[in-house]
């Protein structure tokens, strides 16, 4: 699995994601503006997702 073993192994085996999709997720960046009620939940969910 070329460097994607371990933590992300279950995601890599999904045909919808694969190694290419996992690589793209790893390179992605997210900006959450305004951490009110919805923003703080979204930020926490993104943090847990890795």
Model confidence band, residue 1 (pLDDT cutoffs 50, 70, 90)? very low
Distance CA 32, CA 39 (A): 7
In a domain, 21, yes or no: yes
Helix ranges restricted to H, the chain: 9-12, 18-27, 37-49
Task: Compare 42 and 8 and report the one with higher pLDDT.
Answer: 42
Domain count, the chain: 1
Distance CA 41, CA 20 (A): 28
In a domain, 2, yes or no: no
In a domain, 24, yes or no: yes
| Percent of the chain topping pLDDT 90 | 0
In a domain, 13, yes or no: yes
Give the per-residue pLDDT at 48. Answer: 83
In this predicted model, what pLDDT tens digit does every residue of 9-31 receive, in sequence order? 777 888 888 888 888 888 888 88
Tell me which residue range forms the domain holding 16.
9-49
Helix (H, G, I), strand (E, B) or coil at 7: coil
Model confidence band, residue 50 (pLDDT cutoffs 50, 70, 90)? low
Give the per-residue pLDDT at 41. Answer: 86
């Amino acid at each position: 699995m070329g460097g994607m073993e371990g933590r992300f192994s279950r995601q890599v085996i999904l045909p919808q994601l694969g190694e290419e999709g996992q690589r793209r997720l790893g390179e992605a960046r997210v900006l959450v503006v305004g951490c009110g009620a919805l923003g703080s939940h979204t930020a926490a969910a993104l943090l847990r997702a890795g």
